[in-house]
Structure 1
Amino acid sequence: MSDRYSNNPLNRKSKSPDLKLYVKDVPFHLRKEALAHKSEKVTTLLECNKIDELRCILRDIDIDPRTFLLVAKFCYGYEMQFSSENIVSVLCMAYYLEMNDDHSSDNLLNKAVTFLEQRVLLSWDETVKALSVCSDKILNKVADLGLTEVFLDSLVEKALNDPRLLQDLTTLPLRLYESLILESSKLNVSIENLVASVCNYAKVHVFEKGSGDESVSRHKREVIEAIERLLPHERGAVSCGFLFKSLKESIFLDACSDCRKGFEDRISKQLDMATAKDLMILSSEEDGSFDIELLKTILKSFYSNYNVSDVSRCVIVARMLEEFLFEAAASKHSLRVETFKALGEIAVAASCDFLRYSDGIYRAVDVFLERHRGLIESEKMEVCRVLECKKLSSEACEHASKNEKLPLRIVVQVLFFSQKQIRDKVDREMKGVEEKTEEASEEDDDEIDNMNKKLLRLDIESDYRKKRKFENLECIAHCAEKKLKEKKVSVWREVKRKFGCMTSSTVDACDCHIKKRKKTYHRYK
């Protein structure tokens, strides 16, 4: 490799090299004057006669030998071959060596800036490509130059127009990726696109298998801690499966406590959205063991946020834990009795106030005993301690009463509670019959009362009609009598009128007679 970089036409039409530099253990034989012609920094060192510092000039920046060869050839008058892969390193080196136009016209720094603006920053792919090859030392120089914001602004602007571009950023260095996602989240990029990008980044840098050396583990630890910081806290924003995987990796990689707690909190907020297979992620791939305390911590956090309106969520979690117990019992690993019992106690505690039957726990016990046929009677009893016979349905009781895998004592208990269920059922049915009989009797009494009321109403109506009929007859007779009297009076009046006993004024017969007599009396007097 040394010959490859030292055998180059840098010294044509010139004197022999008088300076030897090493770039990542690769030697370069150069002329001081050629470098000084383009580099103000080299010129200053030569003028101060600091040759030793000149030999160590490139230690502060992480330059690839191929990139340095291109820069050196430029100092010898060759045309610079820019690309997205070398532009950032060339730019940092040109800035570090002070290769500006004030020192030499048409110098490297100005050319590099022009290429960056016209050929790199205008393209999403080229910008990502340019940043993906940068080492930490180069990124430090990029930050010193103030170029980090330039790159991020370019990417964020394009991501706002098309958020799907955020998906393919797995090649970006973590420090740039985290900054890009944070900036995008501030500018209303949808949560769905941000989460998809973060999950994809974690899949490549954390979940994929790699070597177990310290540097890889350290990188993964840094990534998983950044992933936790970038994920939103909204319920349901991140899948439960991804959260469980991330929690497991954070424990394995010995991430900081804030990272682990962040994943635990997100899981507890949406535990009712998880499945039994999600919980199985927490099991050890080597022996199938479980972190019981971790599971209790998650459940405790879930129930601490429980209120009356969340009963349905608690029911879902209780059923999910029963299914999880079944999956654990049926797993390929030979689960220990102590572990199964501990998981079973958790499932029982979750279901006691929310589930009427414990058939799911019975299914788990049955499959565990099936996979551990060699257990002695006392071990079987330990397994069955999580089984509540009084909470088995009639179907489960029937199955358990014929289950030869169960200890005899458990079968007896099942039969006892099964008979009790039958008695209770008969009592309920008999009580129901009595209630129906009483209801029927009450209905008959009501019917009799209704009939009596109807008859009484008919009698009352009959008397009323008779009374009305009698009153009508009296009324008719009275009217007839009145008419007769009126008829007699009117006839008499007519007779008196004819005999001149009545004037136009209405007076009765007695008055008329008295008046005539009075008039006669006055005439004779």
Structure 2
Amino acid sequence: MANSSSSSSSCYLQVDVNGEEVFFVNKEILLSFSGKLRNLFGKSSGKGNNLKVIFHDLPGGAKGFELMAKFCYNNGKTVISPSNVVVLHCVAFFMEMNKDVSGAQNLIEKTEVSLKEIGYWSWSELIEALKQCQNSVVGRLVSASDESASTASPDSSGFRFSCDTKSTESFKNCYARTNWWFDDLVVLNPEWIERVVKSMIFLKFDHGVISRFLLYYQKTRFTGVTLEVKGKIMETVIDLLSSLDHSSVPYKSLFGILRVTLGLNISKSCRNKLESMIGSQLDQATMDNLLVPSPPGVNFLYDVNLVIRFLKSFLLGGTSWVSSTRLKKVAKIIDLYIAEVAPDPCLKPSKFVALIMALPDSARDCYDDIYQSMDMYLEVHVGLSEEEKTMICSALNYEKLSLEACKHLAQNSKFPATTAVQLLSTQQSKLKSLLQETSDPIYSSELSCTYSEKSYKDKDIGHIVHYAKNLDLSTENEKLKENLQGMQWRVMELEKVCRKMQNQMAKIINSKASTTPSTPRSLPRMCS
């Protein structure tokens, strides 16, 4: 037997084994033992010097072919042991070695005699044989999933043959279904499923198919077994799913697994893996997905701690790797969730605030939904102290509240008195910023900033003044009331200044428009 292309004898046959290795063997020797090769060359009329056969899914791969070839070259004599009997037996069936020309005992008979002695094998020999079985099974599955196949085609020097086990139409149809082997392997215990699937992953088997098999395995094996066995099955499935490409695992199925594990005693590390898989793709979740009941011993209606952990997994590594679109999508889902849990009388203020602040401020363009949830929370939790109310309101971004929300908040007696101060302070800062923009003209080559654009900002200023005038000043704290009134007076003064500036700017714009020469030229523009 040769393994290089240097051989050019007409009796030599080139054999490509599963794309792993190419062998050059004596054709006549192998034909005397292999019914598959005899049938193949019996149908062929090729007389060329170079003959090539391609095997797509030969059991045991290159190693299996080499063991078989040695048996043929030694005229049917070879050492058969627990370390090679499984591979030899599979190869013998593949190559149809149930007859031979010389009349010697064929390879199938020899391996069957050896397998009958399995009861006398040592423990280590049994384990080694099982490993061979596992490798043969995985190798067959991987090769069956390979869509590439070579076809027989004549060339100038001889013939090229493509041979595999998919010889019958029924077997082709069987292989065409990617899940044809699910029911065959589902009988294996979790330990062997783990070994087989890890081998599949190593051999780059399709992750989507593996994912479907694991979900099928979990569902099928749960029937009629104890909680302890269910826990072991679930741990195995979760561990293996976590080693796959997360995009190959149906996201909805992860929540199904999560709900099943609520009644099982699985390890903390296993739960962490499942939560990490869910959290990393949180933008695919729905609000209903997140409404998971709290574990036993916790008074909350829903498991808020779980959702907070999901958010931490989503943000793992910082917000720099999470796109703005994904971040805002998660914020919308979480805001719906916050509105759902806010009426829970058992939800502590610290957990409520932690849920709101788990996402960065940049995730929300508007805080109106958060304000409404806070309003509901304070309505249900009437016994909170001023300190607790202040802590809750610290999660609110006043600058991202709409006009209607600001009006409502300014007169909302459920919120602490300091909230009105914070709201007014924020709006006063906003007013000052607008006034600074109004007083700083910006020049460019075109006159495109008109009085109507400035009036739009004046409208904003008017709204801010309106907030201040309508603030609820009913409070027992006289000093606070005086401060509010003082701030309100300053806003009114700023309003007068603003109106004066508006009149001046209108005159400037009208004056420049009336003195514009007929010859076009670059004009400065004023921007409010």
The structure, 1 or 2, with the larger RCO (C-alpha pairs under 8 Å, 6+ apart) is: 2
TM (norm. structure 2) is 0.45
Q: TM-score, normalised by structure 1?
A: 0.45
